């Protein structure tokens, strides 16, 4: 049976996440690009900025009403936090409000009228959805590392996280300034980071989140310390992750061997492993690594588009 082609537009396509999306969608068999929008590069060839972009494709600068009037069946918003609402409002008010929107910012991750797009945990709710909030990059790694253990915890999970500087986006800031990052590790937002609230909300358990930026470009390593009600063996811990993720194509379990951040760059999956336990106090530790721009953003967004459109979930995603 032939699968109908859907047209897709990307707003914020000049950014790091937008670029990854253009590259992935260009080789998707059932998606065709309706537009790629950027204000600063409007009129320029996308291929000049994004390796793997289709020849002849150009950026255009579309305001929210232009996006709503476009023929796109699917719109991905890859904008800074706080910018999505006006695009959503225009599409809501348009003649085709039932189009699929995937927002990669944090703007709808706390909104119950949107579906939270973490396929390995909430796959069935994403199928056929039209408003999907893509999880954060740190939040994806942290929640996948915590979720299989949540019923065994007797206190907040602590998440020590280190991100490459592409996590801060392409717009210049201290967190992607090579001079500040050189030979350095930059702690920031050590209380109240938005991903702390996001993980706590979506795993249903309190989390203490300690983010840092490092001088490498892409990839995140999160080390999760889990206080346990009762001591657990390494085998019991490993079985929990195997039960939760053993059949997931985009989660690789590394067992007692800790996953390393340099191995996850350019990969579509999350690696989880490095199990450690202690008896007194009863505690377990797990490590997760993720490419923040792929499974932490673009790959997960494409999984969500595929589920929303009824395509195979991994269509257009080479299994990394």
Which residues in this chain contact ligand NAP in the complex, by CB under 6 A? Answer: 12-18, 38-41, 78-81, 83, 104-105, 136-137, 166-167, 169-171, 292-293, 296-297
Work out the number of other CB atoms within 10 angstroms of the CB of residue 223: 19
73 to 243, 291, 308: CA distances (angstroms):
36, 28, 11
Could you tell me the sign of the dihedral formed by the alpha carbons of 102, 103, 109, 110, in that order?
negative
**Nearer CB in complex with ligand NAP: 15/316:** 15
**Nearer CB in complex with ligand NAP: 73/198:** 198
Q: What's the min distance (Å) between Cβ of 84 and ligand NAP?
A: 8
Return d(Cα 164, Cα 263) in angstroms, integer: 13
**Nearer CB in complex with ligand NAP: 14/268:** 14
Q: What's the min distance (Å) between Cβ of 249 and ligand NAP?
A: 21
CB 259, CB 240: distance < 8 Å = no
Q: What's the min distance (Å) between Cβ of 75 and ligand NAP?
A: 13
CB 220, CB 261: distance < 8 Å = yes
User: Of 137, 203, 226, 294, which is the active-site residue?
Assistant: 137
**Nearer CB in complex with ligand NAP: 83/313:** 83
φ and ψ of 45, to 5 deg: -65, 130
Name the token pair of 90.
Answer: 């225009």
Q: What's the min distance (Å) between Cβ of 295 and ligand NAP?
A: 10
Name the token pair of 119.
Answer: 């396929």
Q: Name the residue with the smallest CB distance to ligand NAP.
A: 15
137 is catalytic: yes
Active-site positions read 137
């Amino acid at each position: 049976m032939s699968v109908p082609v859907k047209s897709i537009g990307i707003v914020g396509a000049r950014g790091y996440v937008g670029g990854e999306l253009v590259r992935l969608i260009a080789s998707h068999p059932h998606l065709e690009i309706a537009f790629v929008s950027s204000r600063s590069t409007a009129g320029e060839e996308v291929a000049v900025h994004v390796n793997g972009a289709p020849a002849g494709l150009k950026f255009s600068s579309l305001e929210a009403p232009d996006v709503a009037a476009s023929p796109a069946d699917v719109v991905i918003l890859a904008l800074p936090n706080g910018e999505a609402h006006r695009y959503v409002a225009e599409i809501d008010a348009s003649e085709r409000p039932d189009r699929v929107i995937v927002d990669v910012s944090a703007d709808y991750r706390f909104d119950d009228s949107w579906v939270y797009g973490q396929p390995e945990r909430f796959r069935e709710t994403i199928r056929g959805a039209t408003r999907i909030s893509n999880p954060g990059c740190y939040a994806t790694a942290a929640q996948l590392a915590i979720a299989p253990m949540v019923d065994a915890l007797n206190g907040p999970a602590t998440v020590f996280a280190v991100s490459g500087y592409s996590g801060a986006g392409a717009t210049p800031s201290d967190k992607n300034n090579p001079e500040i990052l050189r030979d350095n590790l930059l702690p920031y937002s050590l209380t109240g980071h938005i991903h702390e609230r996001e993980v706590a909300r979506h795993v249903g358990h309190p989390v203490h989140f300690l983010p840092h930026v490092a001088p490498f470009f892409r990839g995140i390593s999160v080390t999760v310390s889990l206080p346990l009600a009762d001591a657990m063996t390494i085998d019991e811990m490993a079985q929990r992750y195997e039960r939760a993720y053993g059949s997931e194509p985009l989660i690789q379990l590394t067992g007692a061997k800790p996953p390393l951040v340099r191995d996850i760059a350019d990969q579509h999956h999350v690696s989880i492993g490095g199990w450690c336990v202690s008896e007194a106090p009863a505690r377990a530790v797990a490590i997760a690594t993720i490419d923040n721009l792929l499974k932490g953003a673009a790959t997960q967004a494409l999984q969500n588009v595929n589920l929303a459109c009824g395509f195979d979930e991994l269509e257009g995603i080479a299994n990394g």
